[in-house]
Amino acid sequence: MNYRFTNARIVCPEGGERTGSLHVSDDAIVADGDGEAIDLGGKLLAPAIVDLGVFATDKAAFAKGGIARIGLMPDQSPVLDDPGIVQRAAAMGKPELWVHPIAAATKGLDGLDLAEMAIFAEAGARAVATGRRWIADSGVMRRVMGYARDCGLTLIIHAEDSGLTNGAVATEGETATRLGLPAAPAIAEALAVARDLALAEETGAAIHFRQVTTAGALDLIRRAKARGIAVTCGITPPHLYLSDIDISDYRTFARLSPPLRSEADRQAAREALGDGTIDVLCSGHDPRGPEEKRLPFADSAPGSAGAETLLALGLGLVRDEVVSIERLFALLSANPGRILGLDTGTLRPGKPADLIMVDPDSPWRISADAMAASAGNTPFDGLPVQGKVLQLWKGGVRIR
């Protein structure tokens, strides 16, 4: 499998943007070489996406979205809290998809008893996580961080203080009040982030907040980074494009976790994406069928299908001048790969040939009914976007 991609607009998070050629030999990018010439006609060639923190292994959706690798959250059935289950999860995507399991930090994700992180690491776990929950007991969380540090694993955290969010389905504010929905204050996120930053600073653990969506929490992380704390954070497109006003018609496709925030928080998130506070743009892919979404808003399950729309919505941020194209692929590929300890996400020689060919200007309309995902619930149903993945290579092998 030797390729020579020619006439390409090449985008690398580390090497910047250039036009020219890229060489692939077997499963890796090489500095030079021969092989079959593939003329890209000026289309964009970039690292394939590493989607950090998905809840379902949805191969067709990932291929359509240009995603070659996923960090799979432990909230599976059964929970990823056993080495055998972790090993099986790592194998489930082959040959079309790299699945990198994120193991449970506590047994059953119950937030009480520490899981066997060292054994999970040997079984192939790339990180550990609290799952969809926050660990309320600070003593347990301190021990989790210490164990994760000793195992060389990043701890991925869901940051919402459950004492405030229990039973809530929306963020406190005018919209939630008008709709009569149980709601929690936005400060629930900042409180959780503040405690876990303090514990990370004390233990020396590397932590990643899977989604940070409020101005207060983002400011805490910005200041923690300046102090040298080993913290990173991510966000999904809905919290960059939508606000709590988008649930005004009790639209369950916009029922997410964490819930949509105020317009001020949305603008703060876009600023944090641009200034480097946010490290990862992820899909949060969590498809939910009609049996979970065709219910009253408060009874519906949170989650959306995000894999197929991630790149197009990311390219929208480039057109809006929130981020550069190189920064976008750092958010989508290089940074999530680094957090998972993967040697991927750039186009440097010697790196895995996980690549996507993209037409960044191709227009299309997001349609829930046309999605390849196991369920097509998306808060962006009907939105016109630009940017299509035309081809995807995983380890030098063409997947689509």
pLDDT in tens, 138-190: 999 999 999 999 999 999 999 999 999 999 999 999 999 999 999 999 999 99
* DSSP bridge pairs for 100: 71
pLDDT at 71 over 90: yes
First-to-last C-alpha distance (Å) of the chain: 16
Taking CA atoms, 72 is separated from 53, 264, 370, in Å, by 6, 31, 24
Q: What is the mean pLDDT of the chain?
A: 97
Find where tokens 């480039």 sit. 318
Q: Please, what's the b/e burial string for 163-185 (b: 16 or more CB within 10 A of its CB; e: otherwise)?
A: ebbeebbbbbbebbeebebebbb
Please tell me what DSSP assigns to residue 341.
Answer: T
Looking at the structure, give the CATH architecture of the domain made up of residues 50-344+363-381.
Answer: Alpha-Beta Barrel (3.20)
| Alpha-carbon separation of residue 394 from 50, 66, 93, 118, 236 (angstroms) | 11, 10, 12, 29, 24
Q: What is the CA radius of gyration of the chain?
A: 20
Per-residue model confidence as pLDDT tens digits over 349-387 = 999 999 999 999 999 999 999 999 999 999 999 999 999
Q: Say what the alpha-carbon torsion angle 268, 385, 315, 230 is, to the nearest 10 degrees.
A: 50
Q: What pLDDT band is residue 231 in, cutting at 50, 70 and 90?
A: very high
Q: 3-class SS at 60?
A: helix
Residue 398 has pLDDT above 90, yes or no: yes
Q: How far apart are CA 141 and CA 155, in angstroms?
A: 10
Residue 33's pLDDT is what? 80
**Gap between the Cα atoms of 335 and 135, Å rounded:** 25
Q: Where are the domains of the chain?
A: 50-344+363-381
Strands 355-365, 384-394: pairing kind:
antiparallel
Residue 352 and residue 395 in contact, taking contact as beta carbons nearer than 8 Å: yes
Q: Residues of the chain with pLDDT > 90: what percent? A: 97
Sign of the alpha-carbon dihedral angle for 150, 235, 316, 305:
positive
What would the mean pLDDT of 121-143 be, rounded to a whole number? 97
H-assigned helices in the chain: 59-64, 83-91, 117-123, 138-151, 162-165, 174-179, 187-203, 215-226, 238-241, 263-275, 290-293, 310-319, 325-329, 335-339
pTM as predicted: 0.96
In this predicted structure, the answer to whether residue 213 has a pLDDT above a threshold of 90 is yes
Q: Are 97 and 69 in contact (CB under 8 A)?
A: yes
- Tell me if the bond preceding 101 is cis, omega within 30° of 0: no
